[in-house]
Amino acid sequence: MLKKIFTWWDGATIGTLLFSKLNGTRVGEDELGNVYFEGGRTTDGRPRRWVIYSGSNDASRVPPAWHGWLHHSTDLTPDQLPAPRAWQKPAEPNLTGTEAAYRPAGALERGGVRAAATGDYEAWSPN
């Protein structure tokens, strides 16, 4: 119980959940379990929109269609949008720090061996 009151990095605190239930209207939920709300107005008059993450608070876990809705790029929720095109890949969360992270050739995690420099490279010498 104390963890839910004081920690925000692994999910919403009790205060955020209460605020969302009392001041917002539930708009939808994505396939990851994140819940989206709308309520009130921003200082420029647009509707205030926010997300309650299921699990860790990581913005890369918001699918592109919901990201567009959150940032007022569209007023349509993903269930009102046309189906994704066949060539579109599904969104992935940020993989930095995991085994699936991108590691270019020469990275220490891949052995640290890079291709030799090309012939136009000349090492600097202080002489």
pLDDT, residue 26, reads: 92
pLDDT, residue 68, reads: 93
Q: In this structure, are residues 29 and 77 in contact, taking their beta carbons and an 8 Å threshold? A: no
pLDDT, residue 8, reads: 55
Q: In this structure, are residues 81 and 45 in contact, taking their beta carbons and an 8 Å threshold? A: no
User: pLDDT tens digits, the chain, 127 residues: what are they?
Assistant: 555 555 555 566 666 666 667 778 999 999 889 999 998 888 999 999 999 888 778 888 898 899 999 999 999 999 898 888 999 888 888 888 888 898 888 888 888 777 777 677 778 889 8
Pairwise CA distance, residues 35 & 32, whole Å: 9
pLDDT, residue 13, reads: 63
pLDDT, residue 105, reads: 81
Interior/surface letters 62-99, b for 16+ CB within 10 angstroms, e for the rest: bbebbebbbeeeeeeebeeeeeeeeeeeebeeeeeeee
Backbone angles phi, psi at 56, to 5 degrees: -65, 150
Pairwise CA distance, residues 32 & 61, whole Å: 8
Pairwise CA distance, residues 111 & 87, whole Å: 34
Pairwise CA distance, residues 12 & 77, whole Å: 22
The DSSP 8-state label assigned to residue 41 in this structure reads: E
Whole-model pTM: value is 0.66
pLDDT, residue 87, reads: 94
